[in-house]
Amino acid sequence: MIRNIRLEDAKAIRDISEVSLGYKTTETVTKLQIEKLLQNTEHFIRVYEDDATHTVAGFIHAEAYQLLYNEPGFNILGLAVLPEYQHRGIGKQLLQAVEAEAAARNYRFIRLNSGEHRKEAHAFYEHCGYTCTKLQKRFIKEW
**Residue ranges with strand state E in the chain:** 2-4, 43-49, 56-67, 70-81, 110-112
Residues 56 and 74: beta-carbon distance below 8 Å: no
> Domain spans of the chain?
2-127
Q: Is the pLDDT of residue 85 over 90?
A: yes
pLDDT of residue 134: 87
Least confident among 19-23, 91-95, 116-120: 116-120
Tell me what percent of the residues of the chain surpass a pLDDT of 90.
87
Mean pLDDT of the chain: 95
Q: Could you give the angle at the alpha carbon of 121 between the alpha carbons of 51 and 105, nearest 5°? A: 70
pLDDT of residue 114: 85
Using CA atoms, how far apart are residues 48 and 54, in angstroms rounded to an integer? 9
Residues 97 and 67: beta-carbon distance below 8 Å: no
* pTM score of the predicted model: 0.92
Q: Is the pLDDT of residue 37 over 90?
A: yes
pLDDT of residue 140: 87
Cα torsion angle, 50, 55, 60, 61, sign: positive
- For the domain 2-127, what is the CATH code? 3.40.630.30
CA–chain centroid gap for 40, Å, is 16
